[in-house]
Amino acid sequence: MTLRALATFAVLLSPGLSLAQQPLKVGAVQLGAPKAVSELDADRLKGQPAKLAWSADGKELYLQVLEGDFGKNGAVRHYTVTLGDGKQKSIDAEPAWANAYWAAKSGQASPDDAAFKVGVESGQRVERSVSAPMGGDLARGGVGGGGDIGGGAGGTSAGDAIANAANAQSVMVHSLKLAGETIGEFVNSVIVPGLTFAWGPSGSKAVIFAQPKGGKLVIMDSAKKKQEIDGTKDAILPAFSPDGSKLAWIRKDGRKKYSLLVADVSAR
């Protein structure tokens, strides 16, 4: 997806997102203990999580799942999850409130500052599979003793070197960039705005994103101040509640297992 395509996710603020907000003091943010609202099974839901949106009253979440890979036009299914009891309900279509929330959450520019916006960098890079040698000189970027690829003890054999080269492949990487930070990375995949980041509610002047490696959540403001949220990992689809008092996200627990988590947001 090109930058122009990303820009089509324009900011469309719903009434639920128009509540007055103060700029979020990033350094003072505290996240309460996350609560597992619901366990998500991709086999039972028949798809992987693709969208997460809050209702205007903050009592319900919309979950969209996609069958197959992003960009492959797989079947889309829709669910709501009630915060009180975690009950999942299948529905026929995406609610209008969810569509408006998602457009605001995943837009290219901050609701508060048109200049604070996401850019796209694309390019090829070489990656190796996990079957590549994990030790020896080659793993550290060197060769065997005396410059011989089949060097001495602790080095890498010629067979290992050949296997390592065979496991190397060139991949296309699309990176979402904001204020010098990588807030999303898509390897051999289409860009999915909102999958790895979310703008805060109007007035908060903040964004939250999952780091490409490890999926730890990070909150950042338009002045580039940021804070990592300890204890978070493997996160996707972060989403602030309309009044900014809660944060929801999905944690990947296994190949087809996920948890929908919600935590209170406060400032010291």
Q: Quick one: average pLDDT of 165-182?
A: 89
Tell me the average pLDDT across 128-156: 41
Report the half-sphere exposure of 263 (CA within 13 A, side-chain side): 18
Is 70 a residue whose pLDDT tops 50? yes
**Residue 128, pLDDT score:** 75
- At 7-32, the pLDDT tens digits run 433 333 333 333 346 888 888 888 99
Please give the single-letter amino acid code of residue 173.
Answer: V
- Average predicted confidence (pLDDT) for the chain: 83
Do the domain assignments include residue 142?
A: no
pLDDT over threshold 80, residue 138: no
The answer to whether 197 and 170 have CB atoms below 8 angstroms apart is no
- Whether residue 190 is contained in a domain is answered as yes
Q: What is the pTM of this model?
A: 0.78
Instruction: Tell me which H or E stretch contains 169.
Output: strand 168-178
Written as six digits, the tokens of 52 are: 């997460």
Structure letter (DSSP) for residue 218: E
Mean pLDDT for the stretch of residues 121-149: 52
User: HSE (CB half, 13 Å, CA atoms) of 136?
Assistant: 21
- pLDDT for residue 130: 53
- For the segment 218-234, the average pLDDT, to the nearest whole number, is 94
Nearest to 205 by CA among 110, 106, 105, 104: 110
Residue 122, domain member (yes or no) = yes
Q: How far apart are CA 35 and CA 38, in angstroms?
A: 9
In a domain, 134, yes or no: no
User: 194 lies in which domain range?
Assistant: 3-13+23-128+160-267
Number of domains forming the structure of the chain: 1
pLDDT above 50 for 97: yes
